[in-house]
Amino acid sequence: MPKSASPKKAPGAPKAKGQKCDERADELNRCETCVRLRLQCLGFGAKRPDWLRENNNVSEIREKIKNFLASQGMIKGHSGTGPRAAEQEQTLLLADEQYHPSSESPQSNILVLSEDSPRGPLSNMRELPESEPEPSLYSSSSYAGPSSTYDSPSHSSIYSPSNTLLRPSTPEHYHQPNPYETYPSADFILTSNNSGLVVPFWTNVYNLEIPQDAYDDDSDIQQYSPLNLAFSTSVIPDMAQPLLEHYMQTVYRHQFQLADMISLPKIIFEPVLKYGTASEAAILLADIHRQKVSNDQLLLVRDGPVKDRYDELVQSFAHRGHYDESDAMAALHVISAFLFDGGRGDWHRWMHVAFYYCQSILDNRQRFRSYRDALVSCTTQENFIIKTFLWFDVLASVSTTKPPLFQNVINEIYNPEQISGIEDPSDVYTEPALSMINYMGCENRVLWALSEISALACWKQKQQDKGQLSVGELIRRANSLHEALAPRTGFHQQPHSSLSTDGIETQPEEPARYFASEIFRTAAIAYLQTIVNNDYCEVPEVQQAVKDCVEAFKSFKEHKSDVRHIVVRSTVFAVFLCGSFTDVAEDWKALKQHLEDEGEMGNCKGVMGLIEEVREKRERVRHQPVMWRQALNAVQMLLV
């Protein structure tokens, strides 16, 4: 048996760390460690079953042990799930029925944790009815979503059983068409190859040192004590320590560049320290970040250690019916890994994981009255995961040429026309729990508009396919969105220096948020104009909208380099759009220079190559629509 976490012990008891499963045997040939932890012993040393030597089996059993010990209150920080007296004799069954362990353990009162069992009371996952299909990471069409929710004013739900995925066991599951291969036209074939907070310090046992004045609430500091973190000292492989250290010292800052670097570590470090899927994904991300400094190859698709690590992570998610907070955070890390590795690949599979987790929070009417109430009242970690996914979801819709999966959620929370009644209309912009500025550098109304523009594009295409497109209705809807994107006087004050009003130097993400928000606003207008005007770059309204967005990029050219890097890496969607449509050589040169300055890290190099292909096709076929979204769709590139 592999090592397990240290349980609660009486004062003076020897530490469990370092104990092995085959240390001592009792009269029934069971090791004392397994007996004390109430785990079924699977054998000693060479007698260990061959099936247990498989990495995926070890990972599965490790997860079962972790959940069991937490439910029994044997991990510090977890209170357990039921009366202790009734559970004292329960033993966790680990062996699969098709195997026959060498040890014969008493089978009375066995507690079985299968894939279909609930993940425990600490999870907020909504229990799906038996008739509802389970999600699977193996669905290549898992992120397809509905064709459009724009037709109905009520924005019908996308969570009905008819819109969920087939079970992994059904043959049809493996033969669904790939939504990423259906949209591009036949003649469009691509040829490209592609703080303020003290930096954490790691000791050999992963002690995280945080300054006492970093947070106002001492209770928040206490929760980072290694004594309160399950599996923080006994399960993390030694070889992973440098990568986790690299993630917590460097990588997270590049992962969420526009986020508040004072509060961000508090949100994302805890799930990384609790060894599980989140930490495994963070290790993968750190490995890619470390290698991309000197390696321009696509690491996630080429055979090697990185791909092996990724494949193991995929296997650990196989056939799960529900996802918890660690899984959702892991999904965000893996999506970031694809972005660090160029922006192409199976990122949509991990969008699926995050989507189902966020859906379970947002739809939980036992906890929340509405989507808006869920976002305001959920935990800090849940809020971060949901808002990050909403942002990924909206920008992914540009590449997938489909509406965002959470279009109805975004519409309910952020639609300016629906913010009325007893609620203060201004709090959607000032309430931190609702604000997209503090994480993504995008105004709430711009997030909503981008979501609706993608949906409008799908509605327009459907109406054209049916021969029923009303130009008047198209213009009416477009004008409504255009009005929502008008400049707001006084909403931002442009930073002219790196000093705040009290003379203290600001963090680079603060001015970067201002520049990014204006770029996203002007890019949304340009996106809207391309939809209305059929992607023709010669249309005056398109040219003007693109020009305005390029000017937003030029506005920070004299700013510090760290601010420029943050803005460019965070706004590649706008760079791609403007670079594909601009006819001004000087503007394209300026945008190209921004991308070249970012080097090999991230998707900037891939974006530049794809823009050049789009522009080359424009030159070959003049006075035709610019196939920019089809280009993104063809290579499955995510512009985040």
Q: What is the pLDDT of residue 314?
A: 94
Least confident window among 25-34, 384-393, 563-572: 25-34
Checking if the pLDDT of 115 tops 80, the result is no
Chain segment 177-215, per-residue pLDDT in tens:
333 333 233 233 233 333 332 223 222 222 333 333 333
Domain ranges of the chain: 32-112, 132-138+157-176, 215-341, 366-640
Distance CA 254, CA 336 (A): 10
Q: What is the 3-state secondary structure (H, E, C) of 223-237?
A: CCCHHHCCCCCCCCC
Q: What is the pLDDT of residue 559?
A: 75
Q: What is the pLDDT of residue 79?
A: 52
Q: How far is CA 491 from CA 70, 259, 426, 581, in A?
A: 47, 19, 11, 29
Q: What is the pLDDT of residue 431?
A: 83
What percentage of the chain carries pLDDT values higher than 70?
Answer: 61
Q: What is the pLDDT of residue 257?
A: 93
Sequence-separated (6 or more) residues with CB below 8 Å from residue 628: 530, 535, 576, 577, 580, 581, 614
Chain segment 424-442, per-residue pLDDT in tens:
444 555 688 999 998 999 9
Least confident window among 20-29, 171-180, 429-438: 171-180
Which residues is 25 bridged to in the sheet?
31
How far does Cα 504 stand from its chain's mean position?
33
The residue behind tokens 């001492």 is 218
Averaged pLDDT, 464-487: 97
Distance CA 2, CA 20 (A): 7
Per-residue confidence band for 333, with pLDDT thresholds at 50, 70 and 90: very high
Amino acid (1-letter code) at residue 435: S
Q: What is the pLDDT of residue 113?
A: 34
- The answer, as to whether pTM is greater than 0.75, is no
Q: Which two structure tokens, joined as six digits, stand for 326?
A: 């660690």
Per-residue confidence band for 301, with pLDDT thresholds at 50, 70 and 90: confident
**What phi and psi values does residue 431 have, to the nearest 5 degrees?**
-70, 115
Averaged pLDDT, 555-581: 91
Q: What is the pLDDT of residue 488?
A: 83
Distance CA 395, CA 79 (A): 40
Checking if the pLDDT of 243 tops 60, the result is yes
Torsion angle of C-alpha atoms 317, 322, 327, 329, degrees rounded to 10: 140
Return the SS3 of 373: helix
